Amino acid sequence: MGQTLIEKIIADHARGPVSPGQIVDVEIDVRAARDFGGANVVKNLQSAGLAVRDPDRTLFTFDCNPGGSDQGYAANQQRCRVFAREAGVAVRDIDQGIGTHLAIEDGLVGPGSTFVSTDSHANIMGAVGAFGQGMGDQDIAAAWAHGKIWFKVPPTRKIILAGRPGPAATAKDIALKMARDLGAAGLLGCAAEMYGDAVDRLSVADRVTIASMATEMGGITILFPPNRAVLDFCCEASGRPWQPVLADPDAVYLDTVTVDVEGLGPQIARPGHPEDVVPVADVAGKRVDSVFIGSCTNGRIEDLRAAAGVLRGRRIAPGVVLKIVPATRRVWAEALAEGLIEELMRAGALIGNAGCGGCAAGQIGQNGPGEVTISSGNRNFAGKQGKGEVYLASPETCAASAVAGVIASADAIPVAAAAPRRAAPSAAAPARAAAAVRPAAKPTVVTGRVWLVRHDNIDTDMIFHNRHLAITDLAEMGPHTFGNLPGWEDFPRNARPGDIVVVGANFGCGSSRQQAVDCFQALGIALLIARSYGAIYERNAINAGMPMMTADLLDAGLADGQDVTVDFTTGRITWAGGSLQGEPFNPVQLEIYQRGGLLR
């Protein structure tokens, strides 16, 4: 039986054949930690007394807050620098840019490579046929210490792009169309392989754009079989030859999905959900206050050239702010040499230091209450890029909207720019009380009252907002649990140790932040039960020793506050008047749970 691309890569790094669902130890070629996650990686290594294996394959990347403008980030960066000097680990410091882009740009990865990072968009490595995975702090610490980490081999969905997109469509529009067709959980727990005539015409930058949005579809990774152009790019970047890694002709896929891109035009995701995608024409004319161009999805030199092409000879509309952040220092330098920086500034843009941009609270791109932003990023979860509304679109659509003062595509810019508007005030966030941390117990059967949270796709910003990411003390995390989930802000005040939280599908989608798990441990929550989990979140919970189970309990007839009893080893869930079969802990999960975490 043939193997898919992901199966081939994992088998090569696990030193043996693999199949979907199998749990194997995977050798990691390149291991990275970012500025906000890096400090926790250091803490985990030091508290466990672990040293770094293969320091020359290990690095820090400071891309979330290149300026160190937040004291928490500045302290974390310095802690990482000190550790790096002692351990012989490389630091791509604040002047370098997005770590995942550096890995591709500098030839650290290529077809068939493995890469892990505390960046949940590490799966952009799929653009060059490599396996990249975003992971939590304990995972990365283990990978740094041992050079490998356990992984559950995912099934693969084959995605075929059918048709030829329209002349105004970009790779971002294709990615948004995929998000609309597949949904927020369409690739949940899966890898994907891309095929079709439209795929063959995609550049490396185009592939990066699409691969970077795998996370927003719940996916492990989106892999592109490398063509000659990709191989040449990787050879030039690394100075060494690369051979393509391709799926076998008789590879077995979970299914085949066709995404129709025939005649596709400019697309846009409405605020709150990257998968809530409509044609730009459907929302054209909506006033905007600010525009952001950058991120790991659209911060390449090709993106800046496209934006400059739209802005050339024009000025941004009065009252509109345009913020641009190149992905890396090399992109910045290329844009400067080509005169793009001057053109963009002449149009009224603010050009930031190379880095992530608005997705991270410490970099330019955040918006305020009532502010309407159109962004070339990959996420627009409520609160992710600030307190306003965020639309997602291509750099071309973003630049056109900056000129128009309203949402517009590059092929339909209004003649007259819209007048500026004033943002409406919003209510202050409610105060949150502190909660006590309960020492963890290790029973295999628990009984507790349930909280029924009837929502799907609860992302990590809703669970633990990014403005609190500098917190590393577990005792301080509990009060922020569900602080950005409307209607659940008071949960930390009302929860008590031993409670069980029951949620819907794709729980914990979004970023790789460990705090979104640790906050429940801080409150003493005994168990999480969900229909399904975001892939990184599931790993983080298992590795932290946080009890979590997969079961559809929301529709079982339970009432809020009712007591249930759960057996971790059998998966049996019982309560007065009923029972239900959940998924029992697998052996790896049970063993990690019983010893109190991956690094214990």
Residue 423, domain member (yes or no): no
Shared-domain flag, residues 388 and 491: no
Residue 516, domain member (yes or no): yes
Residue 285, domain member (yes or no): yes
Q: What angle do CA 252, 254, 256 make, to 5 degrees?
A: 95
pLDDT at 575: 95
What CATH number should be reported for the domain holding residue 198? 3.30.499.10
Mean pLDDT of 527-540: 96
Residue 410, domain member (yes or no): no
> Residue 389's beta-bridge partner residues?
372
Q: What is the mean pLDDT of the chain?
A: 92
pLDDT at position 428 over 60: no
Residue 544: φ, ψ to 5°: -85, -5
Separation in Å, CA 57 to CA 112, 124, 451:
16, 19, 44
Shared-domain flag, residues 275 and 245: no
pTM of the model: 0.86
Strands 277-279, 267-269: parallel, antiparallel or unpaired by DSSP?
antiparallel
* Torsion, CA 550, CA 555, CA 561, CA 565, rounded to 10: -50
Shared-domain flag, residues 231 and 253: yes
Q: Which of 84-88, 90-94, 432-436 has the lowest mean pLDDT?
A: 432-436
153 against 76, higher pLDDT = 153
Letter string b/e over residues 461-489, b meaning 16 or more CB atoms within 10 A of that residue's CB: bbbbbbbbbbbbeeebbbbbbbbbbeebb
Separation in Å, CA 494 to CA 434, 450, 460, 561:
11, 12, 20, 11
Percentage of the chain lying above the pLDDT 70 cut: 95
Domain with 457, as residue range(s), is 445-595
Shared-domain flag, residues 196 and 97: yes
pLDDT at 295: 92
Percentage of the chain lying above the pLDDT 90 cut: 84
494's CB contacts (< 8 A; 6+ apart) are: none
Residue 437, domain member (yes or no): no
pLDDT at position 436 over 90: no
Shared-domain flag, residues 245 and 284: no
Residue 37, domain member (yes or no): yes
pLDDT at position 438 over 80: no
* pLDDT tens-place string over residues 107-164: 999 999 999 999 999 999 999 999 999 999 999 999 999 999 999 999 999 999 999 9
Shared-domain flag, residues 254 and 302: no
pLDDT at position 358 over 80: no
Confidence of residue 345 (pLDDT cuts 50, 70, 90): very high
Shared-domain flag, residues 64 and 188: yes
pLDDT at position 565 over 60: yes
* pLDDT tens-place string over residues 177-214: 999 999 999 999 999 999 999 999 999 999 999 999 99
Residue 369, domain member (yes or no): yes
pLDDT at position 424 over 70: no
Confidence of residue 226 (pLDDT cuts 50, 70, 90): very high
Shared-domain flag, residues 393 and 467: no
Confidence of residue 241 (pLDDT cuts 50, 70, 90): very high
Mean pLDDT of 388-411: 96
| Domain total in the chain | 3
pLDDT at position 97 over 70: yes
